[in-house]
Amino acid sequence: MHHAKPKHEFEPKIIAFVCTWCTYAGADLAGTSRMQYPANVRLVKFPCTGRIDPVFILKAFQQGADGVLVSGCHPGDCHYMAGNFHARRRFAAFRKLLEFIGVDLQRLQFSWVSAAEAGKWVEVVTELTERVRAMGPMREFKDLALEEQWSGSLTTPELQEAYEAI
C-alpha cells in the first residue's frame, strides 16, 4: 500500500560506516524482510569496524553529512575476534575530541547490529534520522570547508599571529 508521506522541510544526510559481517548483513536482512526505513542513509562497507579511521567521520561531516552512524558486530562477536573492541576504544576517545571541537555528539551514533538484527538496524537508522532531522542541518564543518576553499588557509587572528611568529 502506498501511503502519502508527510513532507519534511529538511532531509538530513546520514552516512553509515558498517562492517560487512554483521551490520551490512543485518541491513541486507532488513531488505529481504521488506522492512521500511527512511531513505536518508548511505552505507560505506568495511571489513571490520576496526578498519574505520576516525578521520573518516570528520571527512563525512566535512562533506556535508548531518549525521554519522558507526555500526558493527556486538562485543565478543567480531569476525576478526577483536576489531570491534579496538574500534570501541578508539571512538570512546574520539568522541571527546569531537565534543571539544564543537560537534554535537547527538549527530554521531555508535551501535552494534548483528547479521540477524534487521529490526534493530531499522530502529537505529530511523531513530538517528529523526533525531538529526529535528536538529537541523550541520553547518559548522561545511562552512569551515568553504572558508578553507576560498582563502586557501584559515585566517583567524590567532592563527595569523602564530604564522607570523614562525
Partner 1 sequence: MSRVGVFVCHCGENIARTVDVERVARAAEQLPGVAFATDYKYMCSDPGQGLLKRAIAEQRLSHVVVAACSPRMHERTFRKAVEQAGLNPFLCEMANIREHCSWVHEDREEATTKAIEIVGMLVERVKKNRVLPTITVPVTKKALVIGGGIAGIQAALDIADAGHQVVLVEREPSIGGHMAQLSETFPTLDCSQCIMTPKMVDVANHPNITLHTYSEIEQVDGYIGNFQVTIRKKARSVDEQKCTGCGVCLTKCPQNKIPNSFDCNLGTRSAIYVPFPQAVPNIPVIDREHCTRFKTGKCGVCQKVCGPGAVDFEQQDRLLVEPVGAIVVATGFNLYSIDEKPKGSEIKGYGEFGHGRIPDVIDGMTFERLASASGPTGGKILRPSDGKEPRQVVFIQCVGSRAREKGISYCSKVCCMYTAKHTMLFKHKVHDGQAYVFFMDARTPGKSYDEFWRRSIEEEEAVYIRGMVSRLYQKGDKVVVMGSDIAVGVQVEIEADLVVLATAIMPRQGADSLAQKLGISYDKYHFYSEAHAKLKPVECATAGIYLAGACQGPKDIPDTVSQASAAAAKVMTLFAKEQLEREPVVARVSEKNCVGCFSCRKVCPYGAVEEKEIWDRNGKLIKTVAYVNPGVCAGCGTCQATCPSKSVELDGYTDEQIVAMIEAL
Q: State the nearest-atom distance from the C-beta of 124 to partner 1, in Å.
A: 13
> Dihedrals φ, ψ of 109, to 5°?
-130, 135
Per DSSP, 65 falls in state -
Strands (DSSP E) along 20-66, which ranges?
Answer: 41-46
Separation between Cα atoms, residue 46 and residue 140, nearest integer Å: 27
- Count interface residues toward partner 1 (CB under 8 A): 55
Q: Does 141 bind partner 1 (CB under 8 A)?
A: no
Q: HSE-up of 133 (CA within 13 Å, CB side)?
A: 15
Q: Does 7 bind partner 1 (CB under 8 A)?
A: no
Q: Which residues of this protein are in contact with partner 1, per CB under 8 A?
A: 2-3, 5, 13, 15, 20-22, 24-25, 27-28, 30-32, 34-37, 39, 42-48, 50-54, 56, 59-60, 63-65, 73, 76-83, 86-87, 90, 114-117, 122
